[in-house]
Structure 1
Amino acid sequence: MAHFIRSGHGPEDGLLLHCMLANARALDGLTAKLAGDMQMLSMDLPGHGQSEDWDTARDYAEMARDMAVGLLERPAHIVGHSYGGYVALRLAVDHPELVRSLTLIEPVFFAAAKHSDPAAFKTYERSSRAFIGAIAVGDLVSAARAFTADWGDGKPWESMKPDAMDYIIERMPLVAASGASIVKDSGDVFDRLSEIDVPCLLIEGQNSPPVMGAILTALVGQIANTQRVEVEDAGHMAPLTHVPEVAALISAFQEGQPRSSEIS
């Protein structure tokens, strides 16, 4: 069901979860930098890369969570970017026995922003209407343009290669499918965040939309053992555009954790 890539030779186990509309290869730069820290599995989310397509009869977030659970034979350090960060949170609250630590790089858990900064959440809702509305009427090209303008790496849509455009366009319905979990909190995640008792690193880009800061503020308020750091001059795609900086933050965080061999 779940396609994954093995990498690294470090002493710890890690699972990496990419952002919406990408695939596991998007994190190759990061895994190369973290090779000495962890033995990693980088998983393709449902409907991405070479993983199984989304089963429309299932909740998308639950399918992503279950695919990740199926890869974990023992507790691991979970690193998630964007939607992958939300999936990491689902793992932490639904299967805490499988999580050693959390590294969340701009997790798009928009529902959390409602608790810390309702105005920022409403601004996000207004800006998202462009791509959500286009998806609803089947105009996936316009939806893709609008979505990447808000949540891409800053490059113009026209600069992408045709195959990259097609990949994104075909997967825009997955963006709509994710809304129940990340906007409406259908998984009842927020009220369970206080149950997370593993160390958590929150990474944000200095130039990211204000709603991201609101999300991280809400998470800091709910998760006890949390560090929050900012990547200078970075945006939402920091693990792709600022690989050395993000990798250094994760490595430093990992160095502060007890080794698996030290835990009985």
Structure 2
Amino acid sequence: MLDRVKQKAGIFVKGNVDGDAVIMLHSSLSSSLQWRTLETKLSEDYLTINIDLLGYGSAPKVEQPEGYTLATEYSRIMNAIESVIGNKPFHLVGHSFGGANTLKIAVQNPERILSLSMYEPVAFHLLEEGTQARKEVLEFAHIVATSSDEQAARHFTETWNRKGFFDNLPTKVQQLMVRDIDKVNLDFIGLISEKYTLDDCAKILAPVLLMHGSHSQEISGEVIKRLLKVVPNVTECEIQAGHMAPISHAEEVADIIINTIRV
């Protein structure tokens, strides 16, 4: 058994070195800490690789923002995975922006995926040009990009949570979110510019769990609607919560994911 150790900056490995690996990716303006409950529950039987995405937690910042795409995240994530388990297969868990990244990993490595569990992946590039859903995403991204850092952090967090959420946070947490808002803008750029298609997603044959909240914004479910039509081995699960259920309902979400991993 491994205690939670810092393998590299922002990459945490824990658990059973003889077990299958579970890779965990968090949402924007969050960190690997959001998966701590799931990490702990899995550590006896699985090897968890819990990753801070670039610009969040203890991960390094993006070195060349002008050239940022999801491939930037992908390269670092895959290097981390291979440094720990080589070319062995693995499970994937992702939430929101992390979900979009796990989907990209699964599309590019379908033969290595044991299971894929996603809570409201924001793979917004899968929304067709000219649709109302895509227009809403672009408008949201524009507001975040053109507002002051504090207003952008407030708008972003209140869109995915509820009105007044940001102002009720501790000052230290607010300051961290304001600090990291530039990376949120890069996240949107990476999401919209991504190239894998729904047809590519149809090639994922491993068990796929698509979770969503009953209280989430409509835009959160648009990507899921499209994935449900094309992914062959998919299970849908609705939770009585919002977009941030992996944090607000960590125990419930963890238990649902574990059931998929253990199938």
* Superposition TM-score tier, normalisation by shorter sequence: 0.7 to 0.9
State the 4+ residue runs in structure 1 displaced beyond 6 angstroms: none
**Structure 1 residues 7-65: Cα deviation after superposition (integer angstroms, max 9, x where no partner):** 33383211100111111112112222333452101001011112221122532411111
Range that drifts further, 15-24 or 146-155 = 146-155
* Preserved contact between residue 152 and residue 236 of structure 1 (Cα < 8 Å): yes
* Preserved contact between residue 99 and residue 198 of structure 1 (Cα < 8 Å): yes
Aligned to 2:5: none
SS at match of 2:206: coil
Q: Structure 1 length as normaliser, TM-score? A: 0.85
- 1:241/1:153 Cα in 2 relative to 1: closer, same or farther (>3 Å)? farther
C-alpha separation between the residues in 2 aligned to 1:2 and 1:63? Answer: 16
**Equivalence map 1:46-57=2 (5 Å):** 46-55=54-63, 56-57=65-66
C-alpha separation between the residues in 1 aligned to 2:106 and 2:123? Answer: 14
SS at match of 1:114: coil
Q: Which runs of 5+ in 2 are unaligned?
A: 1-7
C-alpha separation between the residues in 2 aligned to 1:180 and 1:130? Answer: 13
The answer to whether residue 216 in structure 2 is matched with residue 208 in structure 1 is yes
Deviation at 1:66, TM superposition (A): 1.0
Aligned to 1:67: 76
- 1:131/1:223 Cα in 2 relative to 1: closer, same or farther (>3 Å)? same
* Preserved contact between residue 110 and residue 182 of structure 1 (Cα < 8 Å): yes
Q: Structure 2 length as normaliser, TM-score? A: 0.85
SS at match of 1:250: helix
Deviation at 1:155, TM superposition (A): 6.1
Q: Which runs of 5+ in 1 are unaligned?
A: 257-264
C-alpha separation between the residues in 2 aligned to 1:153 and 1:25? Answer: 21
SS at match of 1:195: coil
SS at match of 2:187: helix
SS at match of 1:47: coil
Deviation at 1:88, TM superposition (A): 0.4
Aligned to 1:247: 254
Equivalent residue for 1:89, pick from 90, 97, 103: 103
Aligned to 1:102: 116
- 1:83/1:8 Cα in 2 relative to 1: closer, same or farther (>3 Å)? same
Deviation at 1:205, TM superposition (A): 1.0
The amino acid of 1:58's aligned partner reads G
Equivalent residue for 2:135, pick from 108, 122, 147: 122
Deviation at 1:191, TM superposition (A): 4.0
* Preserved contact between residue 104 and residue 196 of structure 2 (Cα < 8 Å): no
SS at match of 2:202: helix
* Preserved contact between residue 125 and residue 195 of structure 2 (Cα < 8 Å): no
Equivalent residue for 1:175, pick from 184, 191, 209: 184
The amino acid of 1:4's aligned partner reads I
The answer to whether residue 85 in structure 2 is matched with residue 78 in structure 1 is no
The amino acid of 2:30's aligned partner reads A
**Equivalence map 1:161-240=2 (5 Å):** 161-183=170-192, 185-232=193-240, 234-240=241-247
- 1:31/1:252 Cα in 2 relative to 1: closer, same or farther (>3 Å)? same
* Preserved contact between residue 110 and residue 211 of structure 1 (Cα < 8 Å): no
The amino acid of 1:13's aligned partner reads A
SS at match of 1:90: helix
* Preserved contact between residue 151 and residue 236 of structure 1 (Cα < 8 Å): yes
Equivalent residue for 1:34, pick from 35, 42, 57: 42
* Preserved contact between residue 70 and residue 194 of structure 2 (Cα < 8 Å): no
Deviation at 1:127, TM superposition (A): 4.2
C-alpha separation between the residues in 2 aligned to 1:82 and 1:37? Answer: 26
CA RMSD of aligned residues (A): 2.3
The answer to whether residue 27 in structure 2 is matched with residue 19 in structure 1 is yes
SS at match of 1:52: coil
C-alpha separation between the residues in 2 aligned to 1:147 and 1:226? Answer: 30
* Preserved contact between residue 103 and residue 202 of structure 1 (Cα < 8 Å): yes
Kindly, what percent of the aligned residue pairs are identical? 25
The amino acid of 1:121's aligned partner reads R
Aligned to 1:261: none
